Structures are given as C-alpha cells and as structure tokens.
Structure 1
Amino acid sequence: MNVLVLVRDLPWPPNTGARLRTLNLLSRLAHRHRITMVGYSRGDGAEYASQAEELHCLVAVPPPHQPSGLRMHAQLVANVASPLPYAVSKHLSIAMRQAVTALLEEREFDLVHCDSLPLAGYAALATGIPKVLTEHNVEAELWQRRAKHAAGSLRRAFERMQYVKMRRFEASACRLFDHCIAVSELDAATLRTAYGLRNVSVILNGVDTDLFAPTQAPTVPGRLVFTGSMDWFPNEDAMHLFASSIWPEIRRRRPHASMAVVGRRPSQALRRLCADKGLLVTGEVPDVRPYLAEAEAVVVPLRIGGGTRLKILEAMAMGKPVISSTVGAEGLAVTNGRDILLADEPAEFAEAVARVLTNPGLARSLGARGRELVERTYDWSAQANALHDLWLRVAGVARAAHGAPVSW
C-alpha cells in the first residue's frame, strides 16, 4: 500500500521513546509498503538519507520556533485565551500544513497514519482516505497527573487548565480517525471509556532483543542507572524526586551506591541538584547500552506518565533488575516480586533498591525473568506484524465501504 506517515519529529537520532517506536516499527514495514514520512527536522533530511533509504519518500519540515525564557512564559500566558492546549499549539505550523497538502495533491495514498496527536488536524486534510492515529500516551491523563503533582497554586491551576483543554482536544481529535492505536491494554480501555471510542487496537511498545542483550561486561558495584530524555517533563520530575527524597535514603542504607542519570537535555536546575547530591548526569549519549551494562540495577521512579516505558523493556532485555514506581511500570505485563520490584514511597523505593544491591540471587532472578518477559511479549517484529495487519484491515474496510480499490 501507499502509506503517508505523519510524525512530529523525524525519528533520527532514535533518542526518545516515540522515535524508537516509530523507527523500529516502520523499518520493519518499509519492505511491505511504500511509506512516505513527513515530520519536523532542523535539516533538510539529507543527513538521514542512508538511514531512511528503506522509505519510499522522506519529507523534512522546518520545526516551529520554540522560544525560551521570557518569550516562552509570554506564550504560556497567551495560551490561556486559546482553546488549544499548549502542548498542541506549539507544534503547529503553516509549513507542515503546506507539506501535507502538497503530498496529498501530488500522490495517491491508501492510508494515512498520524503518529503524533498534535498533528491530527493535518491528517484530517486527507479527506476520503482511511486514517489511523497512534496514541503514545493518553495525553489528558498525563496532564491530569502533572496538575496533581504541580508545586504552587498558580502552576497547579495552569496545568489543570491544560488538562481540561487536552481532554477536549484529544476526544475530538481521536474521532477524526477510522482507528486509534494504544500502546497498552490499559490505555486502550481508557480511550474507550473516557472518549467513547469503538475502534481501538493495541500495538505494544517493544525492544530489539538482539541489540539489547545481556553482556559479560563487569558491573560497577552499587551502580544505579536511569535512562530517558530529560527534556520530557515526567523524566525530569522523576529525577528531582529521586535526588531529593529517595537517593538520601539509599545512601543511608548503602553508602557505596552510585547513580548515573543518562539522557539528553537535562536542565541546569537538574544538573545543579544532582551535582549537589553526588549523582552523575551524562547528557546525551550515542548509546545507552554501555551505561546499562555497568548497572547493578535500573530505577524508574516516575510519578507522572502515560503509555509504557521503553526504558524498562531495554533494561530487562539486558538482564538488569528493575525497581520502578507503579506509574513507571503501568501498562506493562510485569509481576511485582517476579520480574520487577514496585514501590512508590521514597523509603519503600530505597529499601527495594537496597534489597537488590545486597542480594545477588534476587538481582539475577529479577534480571533473568525480565529478559524472559521481553523475549516472550515485547519483540518489535511481532508488533510490526500486528501493525501491518491493522493497516490492511483499516484500509480494506474503509475502501470497501466507499467502493474504492486499494493499491496493494
């Protein structure tokens, strides 16, 4: 089929959960379908030519300017009067609308797959073409959690307003599509009950179990690791919580413990806090696997989030024991005490970490069973096959209803 895929960001480098998911699924489908991908990129796409050669066509669109400092705060204030949530409006651009319009005029597509909720309105330009939306998170739920944990009444009121706007936008946007994809059964149930959606399927997140595999590299005694894009608010919030409330409890129990925070674009505030508490902050790295290899355990203390965490799947694939909050492991088919340890209160989380660091047998058991879980359930190839089947089904059903042929 001819498939138009809209992504918020072109998936190179694959250094966020959304990019990893997009790249792993589409690279496995590119030999079965003629995929045209359009997304934001600061370059013209030429630098990705070798990585994108499997695709039929790649269109890079200049991203909207994202202000910082006082100008960003001015935009936040102006957003109060907008019906759109800020997390949507900041990703809209005339250039993206023009690029999508031009592609729809120049080529015939059998299916449009929107891989980012803020771009839903551009997918809607494809009138008469079957459309699919991927919900990487239930976005309104994520904003509801942000409001719950916001510090200060003003910020809490603003984020509560963003939650209300996002819930309204998400509900209407999802109804523009013939089918919606969730990344977990939990998210699928939320989409059905919260928004009354009927056509919802689950395509799980996954992990490349050949790329992420146990190694013989020695671990650093007492080393803990957290991986993730630090410019994603839930990750930064988790590390602020960890450094302030959990890390002191861990050091009290295990004074030799050390911690590496691995991921792109950490804020200066987080760098200062981690430096004060004795945590290593790496910034962006070309490959997280060497850091995971050094870890005796991987921690995921998220209290805000949606979808499912690829960082947990990657750690498990490498045979590492994982200690997570319940929100951090939400949506994954894990069992507390078997393939993961779950804890939410700082003292309980620190105690779970101490158990793993002082009990090699427990660490080995959690790591081995985590590896078994991802091999059994979270292989990218199986998820790509499921997406292929869904594309065929949605395109076939919609085209049959309109009496139009599909260009297989």
Structure 2
Amino acid sequence: MKILQFTVDCPYPPVSGAEIRNAANARALTALGEVLTVSFTGGPAPSPPPNIRHRIIEAARGRGPWQKRSAHPTVHLIPADELAEAAAIWKNFAPDLVVVEDIALSQLLALAPEHGGRTVVDLHNIDSRTLADRIGALSLWQRLRRFREHRAKIAQAREADILAAKTADQVWVCSEADRATLALGPAPAPDFVKVIANPIPDEAVLSLPIAARRYQEIRLCFIGHLGYFPNIDAVKQIGRKMVPRLAASGRDWSITVAGKNPREIVRHYCATHGLNLVENPPRLPDLLAAAGYAPIPLRFGGGTRIKVLEAMAAGLVVCATKKAVEGLGLEAGTHFLSGSDAGELAAKIVTFAAEPQTAAKIADAGRAFARDRHSFAAIERTILQAVDDLSARLPD
C-alpha cells in the first residue's frame, strides 16, 4: 500500500503539536506500506524515519507563512503553481490513501477524482470553532464594529468544515468532543468520522521520576507553539494572573515558557513578568524534568492538548482549565488540578506544594492515564482500524 500525506509544515523533527501528530500518523501508516510526506513550508527533512520519504513543494519556497497569504479565514488558498506541483506528485506517486492535514489544506481533496486514492482529512482542531473563540475574545466594541465581517468569516470557516467532510472519504478528529463539535448534520456513516487520539510526543519521559520532593518546590513549565493564538493568550494569563498569586505566597517560584517561534508579544510578557523563555528548544525532556507543575490556563482552541499528555507522561502535575483538558476524559482531582483561570490554578499549586505526597499521587495517576490511552501503540491500533474500516466501506 502507498500512502501520501500532505502537511503544512515538515513534521521532522516533530517539535510542535501539529508536527508531533503528523509524524505519529505517518509512523503508524508505515505498518501498511510506503509513506510519502509532502509539506508546503520548511525544508526537506534531514533524516525521516524508515519507510517514510519527505518532499517539500518547491514552488512554495520563500513565500512566507501561508496564513499571511490567504484571504480565507481557515483554508490555505493554494496558488496555481503550488497546486500543480502537488497534483504532479500525487499522479506520479499513485497512492492508495491520501491523508490531508486539517482544513488548511483541504483544497487538495479536489484532486482525488482525477488522480485516485481514498482520502482522509485529519482535523487537528475544529478551526471554525477556534476562529469563533478568537472573535469572541475581542472586546464588545471590536466585535460590534466589525460584526458583519466577523459573522461572514465564521460562516466561511463553517462552510469549509462541511465541504471538506463532504469531499473526503473519511474524517479524523482528536476527540469525541471534536466529533460532536464538527456536527455534520444527519448522522454520517459510522465509519466516516474517526477519533484518532493525539500521542505522547516522546515516550522516554515516562521514565522521569515521580517523588514527593519534586513537588515541594514551585517550579512550573508551560510548553507549546508560541506563535499559536491560544498559547499566546495562555502566556498572557500566566503573566497577568498567575505570577501575582505566586509572588504573594512568599514562596520561591519559577516559570519556564518554552516553544517554537514565539511572537514578540510572548517575549514581552516573559520579560516583564519574570518568566524564563526558552525559544525553539531542541529537546523537551530536560525542561520537563526540571519542573513539578504544568500550568495550562487555556481559554481557546480545539483538538486535544498534546501539551497536557506530554506533561502528564513526564510526571508533572497538570494544572489546567476546563478548556485545556477538553476531550481527554480526565477526572479533576484525580488526574489533574482544575481551576477556572490562571489565578485559581496558582493558588492550588501553592497549596499542593505544601502537600507533596498528594501532588505525587496526582502525577502518578496522570502518567498512567497518558501511558494507557495515548502511547504510540494505542494510536497505531486506532489508525490501522480506521484505514481497515475505510477500505471495507469503500471497496475497490
């Protein structure tokens, strides 16, 4: 079997959430045959894993981030030369299965009738909801001033979700919550929308020690793509609401913020609120091992949070809002500490730092949950079953 995977960014090395999911999907699909990953940004992968080849769309080189080149709120309107190159790769490779990353690249699905192969659109997030959340976070005046424009953008994004679902042979989502949010109308075929959970990025962190002394000190670590709106907002919340609570406790504390491609506003908040910024870290286990708590005060976004799975697997006590753990099926007080905002999370961290044995129990339960449900072996089984169901539903 030959599998073609289209991604926005090169998945190798897998650092940010999208890259981690794409790399895990590709690895799982190698159990079925040869995988060719084709990316629109970045450079060629220096050393992709066995049985995976990687190419980039040469016509896209030097054109800058696709988000800044597309008039559509969620879809990358692919220029004719890039689309022609993608079509040529598709035709020459002659894949049996084509996996397209997210709504962003859903325009590529239209190539299937001419070039063949079953198609899957892998929704890392429900982008129409993320867009609506972002607009909803604006001030009342900002929303009213551009009300018609905002309403049109949300409608465009929702139409893109529906069109991609109608065009693809199968849709992958990250959670049951995302499946419900996608809301495709009359019940689709039972094998049409599949939940493919996000993976633990690096299972080596499962060996990091869980001991009470790790949670006595207030050492926090937030990891995420620092050019992504929900993560930028989370950093702001950490600076505005969490830092004052920790400072008022009288305890020593430290917060590390680490991730790919930080925006200038992230640098500003880290500098002005005493946060230690680590830009584009080559490896994360050392940063995770140096912390006991993972603050994740997300207010926006979709999918399931790889940063939550990563922190739990590494033995950190996850301290999160409801939005941050949406779709994971975690139990507050057992697997993580829950709070309505960053300030409340900070207060709970101070309390649990005085009860390190209790904190260690939560860390241990969180790790077990991540290991049992989000290991690569579990992801691989789900993907292979999804492809098998697709083949059964759409016989040759």
What is the aligned counterpart of 1:60 among 56, 59, 67?
56
- The answer to whether the 8 A contact 1:321-1:363 is kept is yes
CA contact (8 A) 1:317 1:370 kept: yes
Alignment-derived partner of residue 128 in structure 2: 140
Q: Which residue of 2 aligns with 1:308?
A: 304
Partner of 1:162: 153
Cα distance in 2, alignment partners of residues 201 and 195 from structure 1 = 16
1:293 aligns with 2:289: yes
Q: TM-score, normalised to structure 2's length? A: 0.89
Q: Percent identity?
A: 25
Q: Residue 295 of structure 2 contacts residue 319 of structure 2 at CA under 8 Å; is this kept in 1?
A: yes
**Counterpart of 1:106 in structure 2: which amino acid?**
N
* Partner SS for 2:346: helix
Counterpart contact for 1:326–1:344, Cα < 8 Å: yes
Query: In the aligned structure 2, how far is the partner of 1:202 from the partner of 1:67?
Result: 29
Q: Which residue of 2 aligns with 1:207?
A: 200
2-structure distance, mates of 1:67, 1:131: 25
Q: For residues 255 and 181 of structure 1, do their structure 2 counterparts lie closer, same or farther at Cα, with a shift above 3 Å needed? A: same
Compare 232-241 and 157-166 and name the one that shifted more: 157-166
Match of 1:377 among 340, 352, 373: 373
Q: Is residue 2:252 matched to residue 1:256?
A: yes
Give me the whole-angstrom Cα distance separating, in 1, the residues matched to 2:6 and 2:238.
35
Name which of 87, 90, 110 aligns with 1:101.
87
- Stretches of structure 1 that go unaligned for 5 or more consecutive residues are none
Structure 2 equivalent of residue 51 of structure 1: 48
Cα deviations by residue, 1:291-347 (Å, 9 ceiling, x for unpaired): 111112111001011001111111111111110010011111210000101111344
Question: Greater shift after overlay, 264-273 or 234-243?
Answer: 264-273
Q: Does the Cα contact within 8 Å between 1:112 and 1:131 map onto a contact in 2?
A: yes
Which residue of the partner structure matches residue 276 of structure 1?
A: 272
TM-superposed deviation, 1:258: 1.1
| CA deviation after TM superposition for structure 1 residue 95, in Å | 3.8
Q: Deviations over 1:195-233 (max 9, x none)?
A: 864421111112156322242598593211100010111
2:316 corresponding residue in structure 1:
320
2:35 partner amino acid: I
Q: Give 1:7's aligned amino acid.
A: T
User: Structure 1 residues 362 and 396, CA, compared in 2 at 3 Å: closer, same or farther?
Assistant: same
Amino acid of the residue matched to residue 14 of structure 1?
P
Provide the residue aligned with 2:177 in structure 1. Answer: 186
Structure 2 equivalent of residue 26 of structure 1: 26
Q: Is the 8 A contact 1:110 1:395 kept in 2?
A: no
- The residue that corresponds to 2:334 in the other structure is 338
The DSSP-based 3-state class of the residue aligned with 1:306 is coil
In the TM superposition, what are the counterparts of 1:78-93 in structure 2 within 5 Å? 79=71, 84-85=72-73, 87-89=74-76, 92-93=78-79
Decide which of 156, 165, 171 is 1:174's aligned counterpart. Answer: 165
Secondary structure of 1:375's counterpart equals helix
**Distance change in 2, residues 1:227/1:8 (3 Å):** same
The CA deviation string for residues 253-276 of structure 1, in whole angstroms up to 9 with x for no partner, is 244111110112222222122211
Shift of 1:52: 4.2
Q: Does 1:3 align with 2:3?
A: yes
Structure 2 alignment gaps of length 5 or more: none
Change (3 A) 1:209 1:118: closer
Measured at CA, do residues 230 and 108 of structure 1 come closer, stay the same or move farther in structure 2, by a change above 3 Å?
same
Quick check: 1:203–1:387 contact (8 Å CA) kept in 2?
A: yes
1:105 shift after superposition: 2.6
Task: Report the RMSD for the aligned CA atoms in angstroms.
Answer: 2.5
Alpha-carbon distance in structure 2 between the residues aligned to 1:105 and 1:136:
26
Give distance in 2, aligned partners of 1:116 and 1:231.
18
Contact 1:7 1:37 in 2 (8 A): yes
CA separation in 1, counterparts of 2:41 and 2:65?
A: 17
